[in-house]
Amino acid sequence: MKAAVIGTGSMGRNHARLYADIEGVELVAVADVSQDAKGVADKYGCRFYTGHKEMIETEKPDIVSVCVPTSLHYEVSKFVIEKGVNLLIEKPIASRVEEAEELVELAKKAKVKLAVGHIERFNPAVQRLKKLIDEGKLGNVTSILARRVGLYPPRIRDANVIIDIAVHDIDVFNYLLGKEPSKVFSCAGKALINDREDYADIFLK
Ligand SMILES: NC(=O)c1ccc[n+]([C@@H]2O[C@H](COP(=O)([O-])OP(=O)(O)OC[C@H]3O[C@@H](n4cnc5c(N)ncnc54)[C@H](O)[C@@H]3O)[C@@H](O)[C@H]2O)c1
């Protein structure tokens, strides 16, 4: 299987490293607008492109990881789907619900596989918890609480705390309970960053 990565910043480098490591997968190329990322291609002995369109058209990969900043997920992923290439989009799938829904629909129509990098589902602690819940060892779960407190990652400049961070917890809840919320109550605000929410209290029924 031929794999490629679009955006080889902090997260994309991990995708490149793992594709290069997985048996039966060949990391054929990476694309990043920054020439600095050429080092990633050199490290894994694959080709480097500054444009993802040229990369996909030339390399014709079987699967592509989309690891560009969140605000570009929709545009880049749409192109990948239109080219009929399977894709793993880093979380969150897109900046807006409408964009996310459109991507899912487009992928279905194009019959390409679309996955989202909700990495916490593969966290051994979360997997163990899921097993305990499924086996009924924790009884009937009536409430789950997640609380995250931390510095806002300086390299994230285009996503608020809900779509950048809370999506992890919401996805874990959905995964653990095997269902999605029926009601959402939320209050968010801007404490330290002016242009987007950096705190939120979210209650999911
Ligand atoms: N699953 C997780 O736990 C996790 C953790 C961190 C980040 N992420 C997600 O990964 C994505 C990237 O975050 P990051 O922290 O790696 O950011 P980053 O800024 O470190 O990397 C983004 C890279 O994309 C490149 N880029 C920008 N525009 C591009 C374009 N048009 N074409 C090709 N490359 C382009 C940049 O030059 C940069 O190298 C975000 O959506 C973020 O939410 C997920």
By the 8 A CB rule, do 83 and 57 touch? yes
State the closest ligand 1 atom to the C-alpha of 8, by its place in the atom list counted from 1.
39
Question: Total structural domains in the chain?
Answer: 2
Cβ–ligand 1 distance for 69 under 6 Å, the answer yes
Q: What is the per-residue pLDDT for 163?
A: 94
Helix (H) or strand (E) holding 138: none
Q: Which domain holds residue 12?
A: 2-117
Q: Is residue 162 helix, strand or coil?
A: helix
Residues of the chain with pLDDT under 70: none
For residues 202 and 166, give the distance between their C-alpha atoms in angstroms, rounded to a whole number.
Answer: 9
Q: 58 and 15: one domain?
A: yes
Q: 87 and 183: one domain?
A: no
Q: What is the CATH number of the domain that holds 92?
A: 3.40.50.720
Cβ–ligand 1 distance for 64 under 6 Å, the answer no
Q: What is the per-residue pLDDT for 184?
A: 97
- Residue 7 has phi, psi (to 5 degrees) of 90, 100
User: From the CA of 90, how far away is ligand 1's center (Å)?
Assistant: 8
To the question of pTM greater than 0.75 for the whole model, the response is yes
Continuous H helices in the chain: 12-21, 38-44, 52-59, 73-82, 97-110, 124-134, 161, 167-177
Q: 106 and 9: one domain?
A: yes
Cβ–ligand 1 distance for 117 under 6 Å, the answer yes
